[in-house]
Amino acid sequence: MNDYVVSCCSTADLSEEHFKRRNIEYLCFHYSINGQEHSDDLGKSIPFDKFYQMMKDGAMTKTSQVTTGEYVEYFSRFLSAGKDVFHVCLSSGISGTYDSAMMAVNALKDKFPDRKLLVLDSLGASSGYGLLMDEIADRRDAGMSIDEIFKWASEFRYKVNHWFFSTDLTFYVRGGRISKAAGWMGGIFDICPLLNVDKYGRLRPRYKIRTKKRVISAIVQRMVEGADNGTDYNGKCFISNSACLDDAKAVAAMIEERFPHLNGKVLINNIGTTIGSHTGPGTVAVFFIGQDRREYVAPGGSKD
């Protein structure tokens, strides 16, 4: 029996029901909105529609990662109960939480010398990170040991492809991810940037596409080009969105039409309050299993 805990953070952007059904434990990040502190608790304290409306109305948000002390307390619950733990963190390319978790591992070594506490950097975010967790749960349930699954996931994480676009650049400008001039030009010319996550787990702009209709087609085309076996892809596809469900549904419908052998329907999730504090409303992200991100060639011909 593989009696170990599979764990992640709330930033994997799956629903509470999904986490429970797959027997995945999670620890919550934190955020503040208009100076009031909250837990990134999957939309329970502030529903997602209300959160994004507050952002549209001008609310200021700020996020904070899980601290080393919180990790020590969280991991100790399972270790004290005689459980080994495999925890996967939000990408080190966008957060320092992996370093905090590793400091907790070092702090707990002597206290629990007979237990295994393995921590992996997902190099992913939102429901791409969630898709990795779902695949990990599949292999745990199939009988992989904690050591086997750590080794497997260390390679497999590079095959989780992340593509996303935004129809509202306001919060990318506010967060310094694009310049004010680029944001202004994007608004004038109806440009929707198409981005992905690179092999280091960093967000990288790849294409500037005019109009929402064209960027929806473009994101599906990236899946056609990158998914295992092309349109014969038979794996899972997850989508996350920030208060633009109709756009997410339009992408999902196009994917289900182009990929008739999907493993189930496209699963649409919400972008949670941590990631959403930086994207704002209007972002749609698509996640699937495919091309190794270490082999991705960016527009222009460079590997990065």
Per DSSP, what are the bridge partners of residue 7? Answer: 25, 87
pLDDT at 285 over 50: yes
pLDDT at 153 over 70: yes
DSSP H stretches of helix in 91-211: 97-108, 126-141, 146-156, 170-174, 180-188
Mean pLDDT, rounded, for 88-92: 98
Burial degree of 218 (CB within 10 A; 0-12, 13-18, 19+): middle
pLDDT at 188 over 70: no
pLDDT at 231 over 80: yes
Count CA atoms within 13 Å of residue 258 on its CB side: 21
Q: Are 22 and 137 in contact (CB under 8 A)?
A: yes
- Greatest alpha-carbon span in the chain: 61
pLDDT at 78 over 90: yes
pLDDT at 39 over 70: yes
What integer pLDDT is reported at residue 169 of this predicted model?
67
pLDDT at 189 over 90: no
Neighbours of 247 (CB within 10 A): 20
Mean of pLDDT over the chain: 93
Q: Are 304 and 46 in contact (CB under 8 A)?
A: no
What integer pLDDT is reported at residue 172 of this predicted model?
61
What integer pLDDT is reported at residue 299 of this predicted model?
86
pLDDT category at 3 given cuts 50, 70, 90 is confident
Q: Are 204 and 198 in contact (CB under 8 A)?
A: yes
Mean pLDDT, rounded, for 130-146: 98
Q: Are 268 and 245 in contact (CB under 8 A)?
A: yes
Amino acid at 279: T
What integer pLDDT is reported at residue 265 of this predicted model?
97
Mean pLDDT, rounded, for 179-184: 46
What integer pLDDT is reported at residue 2 of this predicted model?
67
Distance CA 240, CA 178 (A): 22
Burial degree of 143 (CB within 10 A; 0-12, 13-18, 19+): exposed
Neighbours of 18 (CB within 10 A): 20
Total-model pTM: 0.94
pLDDT category at 181 given cuts 50, 70, 90 is very low
pLDDT at 262 over 90: yes
What tokens appear for 44 in the block? 């329970």
pLDDT category at 190 given cuts 50, 70, 90 is confident
